[in-house]
Amino acid sequence: MKRIHTAALTAILVGIITGPGFTQATKSQKSTQPSVQYADSILKAANAKSEADFTVPSFTRLKKAIVLAGAGTEAAKMSNLADALKNLESKETPYSIVANISADPTTKMAFNWFTNPGVTGTKVQVIRGVGNNSNQFLKPVKTVYSTGFAVDQLNYCILENGLLTLAGIPDNSKKNYRANKALVTGLKPNTTYSYRVGKEGNWSETGTFKTGARRKNEFSFIYTTDPQANTDDMFNISQKTTHAALRTNPDANFWLNCGDLVQTPGSENSEWEWEQFFLTQQDIFLHIPFAPVLGN
């Protein structure tokens, strides 16, 4: 995945590790209170970033970190801001990535992801086995270009999300996206594959999946329902639950969720809630197919 790294940011991160920007008054102050100059420099670097250059989720995280850092110069707040800067993603990087079981899980797998608006030419590449480096994708066994379409003027957040306070993002702000879909067919049954989505220079992290067996063997799956999260605290509880479930059942073949994936439905919508649903569990979605169904 393409990250944003600059010489100035490197200097900031070195400052966090080595501590030259911290005051010299007392030992406790050194560990908790960066200098005013250091805090000003990192805030200046953050505020200089343009939303148009980065993915929606990563820039929202930066805005939250800026607001938090503005409330004080504690080392933890500055470190959080530096992390948000380091993890900014190029505007063409895919996000909210999920593999979905298709009609025939023995030979097919569907993939869905979002990008910022105007990003075209994205695709999914698939290789056999567990991919450990990008060179393995030089000769993929399957390459499928996505079918994309504009998703414009989505309501980004509502009052209950708290983003006005947390990130300075007004309630009912509107944002545009591009949805991308690809169906990979002709896979071999009972086989492990790795995949990535995106385009040259802007690939996602590598995911894995295993196709179903031809024979009707026993299988296991994780079942959850009604996450219905709409705040940071609630999404933290939700992701702790699903990660605990996966640790307990590491060989589950897929994840089944029976509805109410987020709290805010229909025409009101909160796209931020959907972003958090994927962002806080993206490591799971990259390695276990997701089967959402209508229900309650």
Rounded to 5 degrees, φ, ψ at 229 are -85, 150
The per-residue pLDDT for 27 is 41
pLDDT tens track for 249-281: 999 999 999 989 999 987 789 999 999 999 999
Q: pLDDT by residue (tens digit) across 226-251? A: 999 999 999 999 999 999 999 999 99
One DSSP character per residue, the chain reads --B---HHHHHHHHHHHH-TTB--S-HHHHHH-B-HHHHHHHHHHHHT--GGGB-HHHHHHHHHHHHHHHT---HHHHHHHHHHHHT-BBTT--EEEEEE--S-TTT-EEEEEEE-TT----EEEEEES---SGGGGGS-SEEEEPEEEEEEEEE---GGG-HHHHH-PPTT-EEEEEEEEEEE--PPTT-EEEEEEEETTEEPPPEEEEPPPSS-----EEEE----B-SHHHHHHHHHHHHHHHHH-TT-SEEEE-S--BS--TTT--HHHHHHHHHTTHHHHTTS-EEE-S--
Q: Mean pLDDT in the chain? A: 88
For residue 250, the tally of other CB atoms under 10 A from its CB is 10
Residue 22 and residue 28: Cα distance in Å, rounded? 11
**What is the reported pLDDT for 33?**
57
Which pLDDT score, from 0 to 100, does residue 232 have? 97
Distance of CA 258 to the CA centre of its chain: 22
Unique residue bearing structure tokens 């805005």: 63
Q: With the CA atoms of 215, 217, 220 and 221 taken in that order, what torsion angle do they form, in degrees rounded to the nearest 10?
A: 20
Q: What is the pLDDT of residue 126?
A: 98
pLDDT tens-place string over residues 127-141: 999 998 999 999 999
Lowest mean pLDDT of 13-17, 48-52, 91-95, 205-209, name the range: 13-17
- Residue 124: what residue type? V
Q: What is the pLDDT of residues 13-51, one digit of tens each?
A: 434 333 333 333 334 444 455 567 778 899 999 999 999
What is the rounded CA–CA span in Å between residue 146 and residue 217? 32
Rg of the chain over Cα atoms, rounded to whole angstroms, equals: 21
Cross-strand bridge partners of residue 31: none
Residue 1 has pLDDT above 60, yes or no: no
> Measured in whole angstroms, how far is the alpha carbon of residue 75 from the centre of its chain?
25
Residue recorded with tokens 């309501």: 155
What per-residue confidence (pLDDT) applies to 11? 39
Using the structure block, give the residue that is written with the tokens 């702790």: 240
Point out the least confidently predicted range of 64-78, 172-186, 200-214, 227-241: 64-78
What is the arithmetic mean of pLDDT over 71-75? 79
Phi, psi of 155 (to 5 degrees): -70, 120
Answer yes or no: is pLDDT of 185 > 50.
yes
Q: Which residue has the higher pLDDT, 12 or 64?
A: 64
- The residue behind tokens 């995945």 is 1
* In the predicted structure, residue 6 carries a pLDDT above the cut 80: no
